[in-house]
Structure 1
Amino acid sequence: MSERTSAPPGLARVGVSGWRYPGWRGDFYPTGLAQRRELEYIGQQMTSVEINGSFYSLQRPDSYRRWRAEVPPELVFAVKGSRYITHMLRLRNFEQALANFFASGVLALGSQLGPILWQLPARQHFEAEIVEAFLEALPRTTGQALDLARRHDERLKGRAWLEIEADVPLRYALEPRSAGFGDEHSVALLRRHGISLAVADTAGTWPRFDELTADFVYVRLHGAHDLYASGYSDEELRAWASDVRGWLDGAPDGVPRDVYVYFDNDARGHAPHDARALVELLPRPFGE
């Protein structure tokens, strides 16, 4: 067993994947709350939000700037990487698409930009050379991301964001859905690059990976029993809270880690209620 470190515990941030769901209105969102104020309401209840619209299409700088303005400055956004890169290009010939992604406005989040998540399709098996080439191409700081963004193509002409507030490190998480990513070679590769192997609860639909491969843990909760649809019981939430507190304090290797948790069980409206309940079971960032 590793000796406990004297380093301070990590920070826990909890939220939902996306926030614009009609079924949440009049349920989680108070009746009569204007749609334009939904993210503001999320920011009052949670400590992070995962932007998932960026997975489906390139967003615009004005959107990122508006989202940032609607929440407290302490709230951190995770950003879901483009499925064009992960699902269509399959991590091949992605260089131009990656430049366009970073030019689309992601950097406008400034100090509130948290981890960037790359979700892979189940058909994407672990191929060391393909995965390593992609990981090596990821910019490690916002300064490097800005340099990459400047290489955007004509599709971003007139709508690119090419500014940063400071040159700071970037964090990445990978959510694969093929068992091969649990292989020792995959885990070693992710550790070498400091990429978090996401802990994903998918009701048994896809493999769950629990290896810690970075200085933070990225958790996605898609539903324990019914994918995207079932809620988490009080007992299940307490169990997740216990896991999170362990990672914050340095389990299992004595290294405290920040933890980001996002609920994606939104089909029946459970996600925001579960997220709010987990927030109450964990220490707030910076003692908020």
Structure 2
Amino acid sequence: MADGRIRVGIGGWTYEPWRGTFFPKGLPHARELEHAASRVSAIEVNGTYYRLQSPDSFRKWAAAVPDDFVFTVKASRYCTNRKVLAEAGESIDRFLGQGLTELGSKLGPILWQFMGTKHFDAEDFAAFLALLPERRDGVRLRHALEVRHESFNDPAFFEMARKANAAVVFADSREHPCFPEQTADFTYARLQDAEEAEPAGYTSEALDRWAEQAKAWRDGGRDVFVFMINGAKVRAPAAAEALMARLG
């Protein structure tokens, strides 16, 4: 089996403290996405968690980045922040129908993020996974599940994720448990422990370890998505670039 590809990215591209640091001084705001896409290989779109976007927005984003660039998209909170996940069908359809397939081949995994108070209910979660389609408008959909409660550390959860080819997010965070199980043909990692005192967010030794971990995930053909997200956000671009340099 051929090796997969490792992509390293950041969350979003509109962030004031990046102006004059990651973004050259005087760069027009309209060109910030173009610049970011020239420096990292993926971006996690977080705005879709809070509100729907227009098809035209997705088309413009796709046009602004290189052909091999990928956007991952965080699902609407109305899909995941609910008592009964099995009742999320209408919200999921609305989210998927907003135009994100206009990204075409530049659409990476969809991130379904659950609150830390959400407990694992096997029957309800299985019903939720059944609502996630494999394709939309002819575009393949890949699904990543970021669960944040220790009750998900359950073989039943990992098995249902594996059957759905849904990745359980590897979240390096001080606030939430980390689930290292690999349950899909891709890995989705969110590294959330950067420190502002470190120019690259992480020590050189830590970045070396993350590079080796990313390569280990890739072995055997798995695509890997690693995002420098949260933590000391001002350092996220430097952390991403430092990791990319180690990966060659």
TM over 0.5: yes
Corresponding residue number in structure 1 for 2:25 = 31
The alignment status of 1:246 with 2:212, answered yes or no, reads no
Question: Matched residues in 1 for 2:232 and 2:27: separation?
Answer: 21
Corresponding residue number in structure 2 for 1:280 = 245
Summarize deviations over 1:163-210 as a string: whole Å, max 9, x none.
xxxx243211000100111211111111111110000011x2110110
Counterpart selection for 1:41 from 35, 57, 60:
35
Summarize deviations over 1:120-169 as a string: whole Å, max 9, x none.
00011111111111111111112xxx4xxxxxxxxxxxxxxxxxxxx243
Instruction: Assess if the C-alpha contact under 8 Å between 1:90 and 1:124 holds in 2.
Output: no
Summarize deviations over 1:235-260 as a string: whole Å, max 9, x none.
1111010001111123xxxxx31100
Question: Matched residues in 1 for 2:14 and 2:72: separation?
Answer: 16
Corresponding residue number in structure 2 for 1:175 = 146
Deviation at 1:91, TM superposition (A): 2.1
Give SS of 2:96's match.
helix
The alignment status of 1:212 with 2:182, answered yes or no, reads yes
Corresponding residue number in structure 2 for 1:201 = 172
Higher CA-based Rg: 1
Deviation at 1:88, TM superposition (A): 4.2
Which residues of structure 2 form unaligned runs of 5+?
Answer: none
Give SS of 1:62's match.
helix
Give the AA of the match of 1:223: D
The alignment status of 1:261 with 2:231, answered yes or no, reads no
Corresponding residue number in structure 2 for 1:94 = 88
Q: Structure 2-normalised TM-score?
A: 0.94
Give SS of 2:140's match.
coil
Deviation at 1:54, TM superposition (A): 0.5
Give the AA of the match of 1:201: D
Instruction: Assess if the C-alpha contact under 8 Å between 2:167 and 2:184 holds in 1.
Output: yes
Instruction: Assess if the C-alpha contact under 8 Å between 1:248 and 1:259 holds in 2.
Output: yes
Deviation at 1:62, TM superposition (A): 1.2
What does 1:79-158 correspond to in 2, within 5 Å? 79-88=73-82, 91-142=85-136, 146=137
Change (3 A) 1:224 1:45: closer
Corresponding residue number in structure 2 for 1:12 = 6
Alignment RMSD: 1.7
Give the AA of the match of 1:47: S
Give SS of 2:21's match.
coil
Counterpart selection for 2:202 from 221, 229, 232:
232
Deviates more, 1:89-98 or 1:215-224: 89-98
Number of matched pairs: 245
Instruction: Assess if the C-alpha contact under 8 Å between 2:194 and 2:235 holds in 1.
Output: no
Higher strand share: 2
Deviates more, 1:8-17 or 1:258-267: 258-267
Question: Matched residues in 1 for 2:35 and 2:49: separation?
Answer: 23
Instruction: Assess if the C-alpha contact under 8 Å between 2:194 and 2:232 holds in 1.
Output: no
Corresponding residue number in structure 2 for 1:286 = none
Deviation at 1:234, TM superposition (A): 1.4
Give SS of 1:15's match.
strand
Corresponding residue number in structure 1 for 2:66 = 72
Deviation at 1:93, TM superposition (A): 1.9
Percent sequence identity over aligned pairs: 43
Give the AA of the match of 2:245: E
Which residues of structure 1 form unaligned runs of 5+?
Answer: 1-6, 147-166, 251-255, 284-288
Question: Matched residues in 2 for 1:20 and 1:266: separation?
Answer: 16
